[in-house]
């Protein structure tokens, strides 16, 4: 397969299911340049397209309501805080740089559905870059870059939350650049099938992917470079999940631990050849690589 040029910009994966993800659609656009305006726009009822301009300094978590598209203008940065999608649905977040957040950068929780997190950059935060938990479902996390950061992407927050999580937490992670990010790329509980495809893993010090608590994770067509622990079953106190690995490319990295079967993927997708994924992802992932 030839490198995709320009980078794919269309929605692929779990967020296409359950009626699809359109965010604010063709609703009116609001441009915000400070934290209070951003918070008000995110928390308003009704569909909206929200453009972030410049650097917005903030703290804590800003609530995002349903039917919102949040787009970064060129260079747009959210510094110090994060976005919380809790029980709402149909949200798109694209082309933003998040740094120095003091909780999570993006938190998807409480049965939030149909979320697309695309072409963002994340660095130097406190907790998760993108954490998805508490029964949330139908999420695509695509073309993001995470660097200078430890706890990257958690899927399912605790081992004892199966009653809310089993049958949910279906997420696609594709064309992300896990650029020295340490761990949780992602760390998965319960969700099945979780689809981790065409990502570029570079020098992750802790591990790449962990499947735990009977999750089903398909690790497909990824490029692992200088990663000592590419993927495994179980993590910490969490019991093992299931993991199927296929068509991955390894450079100075071992194949990881697999076991069990994973539910079938219900959507169509085009898989890039794993050996081309490094060039495709480094050319296309992160904020500033698309025009929105």
Q: What is the CATH number of the domain that holds 178?
A: 2.160.20.10
Q: Residue 2: its pLDDT value, please?
A: 37
Q: Who contacts 51 (Cβ-Cβ below 8 Å, separation ≥6)?
A: 29, 30, 31, 32, 71, 72, 73, 76
Q: What is the DSSP letter of 238?
A: B
Give domain status of residue 10, yes or no.
no
Report if residue 1 sits inside a domain. Answer: no
pLDDT at residue number 278: 98
- From first to last of its 292 residues, what are the pLDDT tens digits of the chain? 333 344 556 999 999 999 999 999 999 999 999 999 999 999 999 999 999 999 999 999 999 999 999 999 999 999 999 999 999 999 999 999 999 999 999 999 999 999 999 999 999 999 999 999 999 999 999 999 999 999 999 999 999 999 999 999 999 999 999 999 999 999 999 999 999 999 999 999 999 999 999 999 999 999 999 999 999 999 999 999 999 999 999 999 999 999 999 999 999 999 999 999 999 999 999 999 999 9
Which residues are catalytic, by number?
184
Indicate whether 27 belongs to any domain: yes
Backbone angles phi, psi at 38, to 5 degrees: -60, -50
Q: Are 185 and 178 in contact (CB under 8 A)?
A: yes
Give the residue carrying structure tokens 């300094």. 57
**Please, are residues 129 and 161 in contact by the beta-carbon 8 Å criterion?**
no
Residue 144 lies in a domain: yes
Structure tokens at 3: 């490198």
Burial of 288 (0-12, 13-18, 19+ CB in 10 A): middle
The pLDDT value recorded for residue 5 is 41
Exposed, middle or buried, 6 (CB in 10 Å: 0-12/13-18/19+)?
exposed
Residue 225 sits at φ, ψ, to 5 deg, of: -130, 120
Instruction: For the chain, give percent helix, strand, coil, nearest 5.
Output: 10, 40, 50
* Omega cis (within 30) before 6: yes
In a domain, 254, yes or no: yes
Q: Is residue 8 part of a domain?
A: no
Kindly state whether residue 222 falls inside one of the protein's structural domains: yes
Q: CB-based burial of residue 160 (10 Å sphere; 0-12 exposed, 13-18 middle, 19+ buried)? A: exposed
**What pLDDT, on a 0 to 100 scale, did the predictor assign at position 4?**
38
Residue 288 backbone dihedrals phi, psi, to 5 degrees: 85, 5
Give the closest residue to 261 by CA, choosing from 206, 198, 218.
218
Instruction: Note down the domain range covering 175.
Output: 15-284
Our count of domains for the chain comes to 1
């Amino acid at each position: 397969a030839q490198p995709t040029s320009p980078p794919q910009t269309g929605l692929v994966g779990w967020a296409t299911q359950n009626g699809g993800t359109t965010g604010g659609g063709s609703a009116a656009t609001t441009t915000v340049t400070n934290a209070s305006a951003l918070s008000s726009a995110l928390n308003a009822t009704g569909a909206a397209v929200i453009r972030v301009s410049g650097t917005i300094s903030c703290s804590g978590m800003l609530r995002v309501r349903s039917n919102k598209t949040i787009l970064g203008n060129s260079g747009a940065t959210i510094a110090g805080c994060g976005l919380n999608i809790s029980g709402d649905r149909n949200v798109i977040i694209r082309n933003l740089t998040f740094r120095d957040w003091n909780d999570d950068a993006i938190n998807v929780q409480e049965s939030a559905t149909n979320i697309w997190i695309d072409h963002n950059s994340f660095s130097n935060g406190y907790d998760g870059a993108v954490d998805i938990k508490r029964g949330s479902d139908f999420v695509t996390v695509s073309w993001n870059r995470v660097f200078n950061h430890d706890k990257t992407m958690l899927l399912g927050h605790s081992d004892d939350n199966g009653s809310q999580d089993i049958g949910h937490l279906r997420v696609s992670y594709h064309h992300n650049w896990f650029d020295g990010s340490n761990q949780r790329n992602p760390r998965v509980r319960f969700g099945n099938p979780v689809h981790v495809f065409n990502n570029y893993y570079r020098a992750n010090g802790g591990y790449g992917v962990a499947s735990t608590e009977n999750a089903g994770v398909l690790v497909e067509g990824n490029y692992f470079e200088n990663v000592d622990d590419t993927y495994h079953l179980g993590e910490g106190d969490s019991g093992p999940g299931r993991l199927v690995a296929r068509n991955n490319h390894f450079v100075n990295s071992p194949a990881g631990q697999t076991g069990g079967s994973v539910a079938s993927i219900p959507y169509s997708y085009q898989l890039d050849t794993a050996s081309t994924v490094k060039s495709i992802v480094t050319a296309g992932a992160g904020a500033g690589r698309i025009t929105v």
